[in-house]
């Protein structure tokens, strides 16, 4: 099954509304990473978040290691926040630190 | 710092042709990763190099796909006899440490096989 599950799959907001994106992991984790991808664009790292809460502007990431979940909160959304938000789990086995990605949450913020 | 550089940004090939994709990691990064992104499968790991040595190619299709890292400044992903199902965005990422550091992604190469 999917090791990284994201919800919701898609979300439509009016500008100014808040968003809460969820990421759940079926395996134990030591760290995880949130990315943002604009349509047709590259992945931009938002947070590398081993545990706890981190803030960056209007974004807040909260990861609870023992509960195998992480959330991304977007406050006062703007149209420029539209795109896909991906969470990823590093699978560290041996010498490999490959990332296992969720399928993403596609966010559309309407003016 | 120019970030991870990938060329070409777009490539169109005919079925059966060969495609070579290039990646230049961030200078000083020891780990280089290749991923593939499709709408159906999402982002999937392909292969990984550390200090130029191939470490994990568990995500690579067994046939037609190969990757190399001849020096610390570039890696290539080669697809022989391309098929329409190879159409995808191929992403390269690098990090300064294989397991505990952020991975930085390039813009990707969008491959279309007709």
pLDDT digits (tens, 9 = 90+) for A7-55: 999 999 999 999 999 999 988 777 788 999 998 888 999 998 768 899 9
Of the pLDDT bands very low, low, confident and very high (cuts 50, 70, 90), residue B21 is: very high
Residue ranges per domain, chain B? 5-92
* Interface contact A92, partner B, CB < 8 A: yes
Here the CATH number for the domain that contains residue A49 is 2.60.40.10
Number of A to B CB contacts under 8 A, please give it: 65
The continuous run of DSSP H or E covering A45 comes out as strand A43-48
Class for the domain spanning B5-92: mainly beta
Report the gap between the CA of A81 and the closest CA in chain B (Å). 19
Of the pLDDT bands very low, low, confident and very high (cuts 50, 70, 90), residue A90 is: confident
Q: Are A56 and A47 contacting, i.e. CB atoms less than 8 angstroms apart?
A: yes
Inter-chain touch B103–A33, beta carbons under 8 Å: yes
Mutation for testing the B interface, residue in A94, A97, A106 having most B CBs under 10 Å: A97
Q: Are B98 and B31 contacting, i.e. CB atoms less than 8 angstroms apart?
A: yes
* Chain A CB contacts of B48 below 8 Å: 96-98
**B98 Cβ partners below 8 Å, 6+ apart?**
A95, A96, A97, B30, B31, B48, B50, B55
pLDDT above 70: percentage of residues in chain B = 95
How many domains are there within chain A? Answer: 1
Lookup result for tokens 């938002």: A46
Q: What is the mean pLDDT of residues B27-52?
A: 93
């Amino acid at each position: 099954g999917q090791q990284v599950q994201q919800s919701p799959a898609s979300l439509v907001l009016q500008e100014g509304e808040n968003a809460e994106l969820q990421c759940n992991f079926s395996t134990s984790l030591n760290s995880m990473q949130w990315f943002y991808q604009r349509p047709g664009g590259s992945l931009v790292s938002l947070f590398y978040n081993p545990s706890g809460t981190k803030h960056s502007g209007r974004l807040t990431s909260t990861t609870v290691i023992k509960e195998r979940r992480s959330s991304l909160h977007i406050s006062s959304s703007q149209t420029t926040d539209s795109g896909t938000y991906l969470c990823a789990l590093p699978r560290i086995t041996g010498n490999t630190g490959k990332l296992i990605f969720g399928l993403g949450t596609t966010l559309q913020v309407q003016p | 710092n120019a970030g991870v550089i990938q060329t070409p940004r777009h490539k169109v090939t005919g079925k059966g042709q060969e495609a070579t994709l290039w990646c230049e990691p961030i200078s000083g990064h020891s780990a280089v990763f290749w991923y593939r992104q499709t709408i159906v499968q999402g982002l999937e790991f392909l292969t990984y190099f550390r200090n130029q040595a191939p470490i994990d190619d568990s995500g690579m299709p067994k046939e037609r796909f190969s990757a190399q890292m001849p020096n610390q400044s570039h890696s290539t992903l080669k697809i022989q006899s391309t098929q329409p199902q190879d159409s995808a965005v191929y992403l390269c990422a690098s990090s300064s440490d294989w397991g505990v550091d952020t991975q930085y992604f390039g813009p990707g190469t969008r491959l279309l096989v007709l």
